[in-house]
Structure 1
Amino acid sequence: MISLTNIHKTYQTRSGPREVLKALNLKVGRGQKVGVLGRNGAGKSTLIRLISGAELPTRGHVHRGMSISWPLAFGGAFQGSLTGLDNLRFVCRIYGAPIAPAIPFVEAFSELGPYLREPVKKYSSGMRARLAFAISMAVEFDCFLIDEIVAVGDKRFHEKCHYELFDKRKDRAMIIVSHDPGYIREHCDSAAVLSNGELTSYENVDDAYHAYNAMM
């Protein structure tokens, strides 16, 4: 179980403190797929960072009763001077995942060829995204965090990512944040709407969809 209890997040800005999340509560069980709808700037990415542990809440408590991925296709934490392969080894050590089977998987899935043995700072943004997604799939998690639509590479590669995540790992929990109601309806069995820093949960995705449309 992942649970967020009375979460507040405030950032200090030049114009004073700005509270992005207010008294937010959320529970996600094993295998559950929860969508969070919100406009751009609503705080969806902040919520994902708090769940992953990349940031701490200003107030409140995050309980992580299962292993959680970083936001899929996010390569911002890679060490640029290390090769893609070295970054893979580093991530595996952090998460206690076996390195030997991860290497051939990432080599085949990322399709980076010889660039996997080049420093990541030489990669294009698309190459970094391919590496990040491949490593995300090489390390098994109980819950995957998805920040907006996972669209890595061309149509063929995008379809491969979709199959690897939503078909092969359909038994895993997922938290998907997006401003696209169609994407949430396709992949989630419950949803919530994030607006003005407050999260309203709905057991039925269609109820969340209608509430979001009314807000828009």
Structure 2
Amino acid sequence: MIEFINVHKTLRQKSHRTKVLEGVNVEFGPDRLTGILAPPRSGKTVVANLTTGKLRPDIGRVRRSSLVSFPVASGGVFNGALTGRENLAFLCRVFGFDPVPIIRFVLDFTEIGKSIDKPFRHLNRDERTKLLFTSCYAIPFETYIIDESLIGGRGAFRTRCEELVTERMRSAGFLIVTSSPTLLRKYCNDFFIIDEFKIQEVNSAEEAENWFGKDKLKDGVGELEHVADGDENDIIPV
């Protein structure tokens, strides 16, 4: 279970402040496929990062009683100066897993070969995308956090990625934060919205969509061909 207890969060940038959450109390059940719908620029990434622990509430607490992933395909969990293998080994140690079988799984699944021993910043976009999507699903988390993008890559890899997600959904919970009603309808069985600085439960994906109206949302199927380039070096804490 993931529980928000009286959570308040405001983003502060120089002299500008943006309120995101105010007094939120909500529970997300274990082993559930949960969707949180909200329009763009309404705090979805903040909610995802509060859930993983990358961000902390200004007031209140986020309590996790299961092993929660970092956001799927988040470039911020890999250090650009380290190799793919070194990054994976570090993440496995952080979350308490033996890195050997997980690295072996990633090598077999991505088929990137010797590129896993290149510094992450030197990988091409296809290699980077394959590594970021696979690395999260390779670790047996109890709850996976999705910030819009659930599946990535091109061609045969995308097909394998979708099959892997389906397999993980049989044994783990997913928390999908998105602007896409289609994504909620396709995957989720619990439904929430972010509105007026609160997170509240609704009965269906249709109710969530109607709450905002189609013109305020950005529909999609949770697929990303390539992750953005960049050299981020922050590791998400647990």
Q: Taking structure 2 as the reference length, what is the TM-score of the superposition?
A: 0.84
> Is contact 2:143-2:172 (8 Å) kept?
yes
User: For 2:183 and 2:149, how far apart are their aligned partners in 1?
Assistant: 7
**Match of residue 165 from structure 1:** 165
Displacement after TM superposition at 1:198 (Å): 2.3
2:186 maps to 1:186 = yes
* TM-aligned CA distance change 1:30 to 1:200, over 3 Å: closer
Show CA shifts across 1:66-100 (max 9, x none): 00000001122212121111111111111111122
Q: How does 1:96-111 map to 2 (within 5 A)?
A: 96-111=96-111
- Alpha-carbon distance between aligned partners in 2 of 1:126 and 1:67, rounded to the nearest angstrom: 29
What letter is aligned with 1:166? T
Query: Secondary structure at 2:76's aligned position in 1?
Result: coil
Give the match for residue 88 of structure 1: 88
Write the deviation string for residues 91-136 of structure 1: whole angstroms up to 9, x where unpaired.
Answer: 1111111122112101011221211111111023442232122211
Which residues of 2 match residues 129-148 of structure 1 at below 5 A? 129-148=129-148
CA–CA separation in structure 1 for the residues paired with 2:13 and 2:150: 31
- Deviation per CA, 1:166-207, whole angstroms, max 9, x where unpaired? 234323111101111011111100111113422221133332
In the superposition, relative to structure 1, how do residues 25 and 129 fare at CA in structure 2: closer, same or farther (>3 Å)?
farther
Deviation string, structure 1 residues 123-160 (Cα, Å, up to 9, x no partner): 23442232122211221111000010324110432221
1:24 partnered with 2:24: yes
Q: What residue number does 1:154 align with?
A: 154
Q: Distance in 2 between matches of 1:214 and 1:60?
A: 33
| 2:231 corresponds to | none
Which has the higher mean CA deviation after the structures are superposed, 85-94 or 12-21?
12-21
Distance in structure 2 (CA, Å) of the matches to 1:16 and 1:116: 41
Which residue identity is paired with 2:106? V
**Kindly, what percent of the aligned residue pairs are identical?**
29
Amino acid at match of 2:6: N
After superposing the two structures, state which structure 1 stretch, 200-209 or 41-50, moved more: 200-209
Once superposed, what is the RMSD of the aligned Cα atoms? 1.8
Cα deviation for residue 15 of structure 1 reads 4.2
- Give TM-score scaled by structure 1 length: 0.92
What letter corresponds to residue 195 of structure 1 in structure 2? Answer: D
Amino acid in structure 1 at the alignment position of 2:81? S
Task: Name the SS for the 1:4 alignment partner.
Answer: strand
Cα deviation code 1:30-71 (max 9, x no counterpart): 211110111111100000000000010111111100000000
Question: Is the CA contact 2:70–2:77 (under 8 Å) kept in the aligned structure 1?
Answer: no
Name stretches of at least 5 consecutive residues in structure 1 with no aligned partner: none
| Contact 1:42/1:196, CA 8 A, preserved across alignment | no
Letter in 2 for 1:40: P
Query: In 2, distance between residues paired with 1:181 and 1:130?
Result: 26
Would you say the 8 A contact 2:7–2:22 is kept in 1? yes
**Any idea what SS the aligned residue of 2:103 has?**
helix
* Cα distance in 1, alignment partners of residues 140 and 54 from structure 2: 19
